[in-house]
Structures are given as C-alpha cells and as structure tokens.
Amino acid sequence: MAKKALISAFVDIKVPFYDVDSMRVVWHGHYVKYIEDARCELLDKLGYNYLAMEESGYIWPIVDMRLKYVASAKFGNTVRVFAHLLEYESRMKIEYEVYDLESSVILNKAHTVQVAVNIANEEMQFESPSVFVDKVTKQLG
C-alpha cells in the first residue's frame, strides 16, 4: 500500500465457475466486480452506501480506475479483497488488494477515484460534501 489507509474493509469471494474462462482463470474484467464488492463493504462500514449518497443529494461516479494484474485467481479459489480509503476531503480515493486466501499470494492491486456530483444541478464538487466528511471523521474518532 502506497499511503496509510484511513479506514479499511474486506470481503471474501469464492470464485464461481461463471467468472472464469476456458482455462479456469478469472476473466480480467471480473476483478472490477470484486473490488466493487469490497468498496460497498467499506461504504457500508462508513454508513454512506450508494443509497445514502443519493439520499444526501450526491452521486459519486468513478473518474479513474486502475488495475494491476499480478497473478491469476482460479475457479474454486477464495479471494480476500481489501478496500482502503486513502483520501476523502476533495475526492474519494480507495486502494484495493486482492489476495488468494489460502496462499496469501497477491493477485491484483487497484485503485479508484470518485468525485461527488450534486444531483440537483449536476455539478462536480471540488470538495467532498460535509455529510461524507462527517461520516469519515466520525469513524476516525
């Protein structure tokens, strides 16, 4: 991890057959789904999931996503996907690590950047809304 995580969460996912190709290796696009699951767990932990975002008057589109494939997950493996909140004051930057649970081998590293957009006027916010900042600072204690 490049920066210190402020808040972290994780999910365990058993790789299903429908996520693999003919070589029984997870198709690269499914890692996006796996990190989304971890991000949802992190947002739930904050008390600011996608429904809460919308209720607060904001949507948070992803404006940057990067994935680095290190090794392959295979059918039947269980992967642990960590989501680490790194930034929150002007954007939401989350770093991810995907590990094979049995061997602890890292399979994928990723990050996403999301920005708040006011639903009423569709304007991007240059500072994170106070409702989100308050949720983070409450978790930080």
Chain-wide mean pLDDT for the chain? 96
pTM of the predicted protein model: 0.94
pLDDT at 66: 98
Q: What is the pLDDT of residues 108-139, one digit of tens each?
A: 999 999 999 999 999 999 999 999 999 999 99
Q: What is the pLDDT of residues 8-62, one digit of tens each?
A: 999 999 999 999 999 999 999 999 999 999 999 999 999 999 999 999 999 999 9
Nearest alpha-carbon partner for 15 in 100, 109, 111: 100
* Residues above pLDDT 70, as percent of the chain: 99
SS (H, E, C) the chain: CCCCCCEEEEEEEECCHHHECCCCEECCCHHHHHHHHHHHHHHHHHCCCHHHHHHCCEECCEEEEEEEECCCCECCCEEEEEEEEEECCCCEEEEEEEEECCCCCEEEEEEEEECCEECCCCCECCCCCHHHHHHHHHHHC
Identify the band that residue 99 occupies on the pLDDT scale cut at 50, 70 and 90. Answer: very high
pLDDT at 121: 97
* Residues above pLDDT 90, as percent of the chain: 96
Q: Which domains does the chain have, with CATH numbers?
A: 7-140 (3.10.129.10)
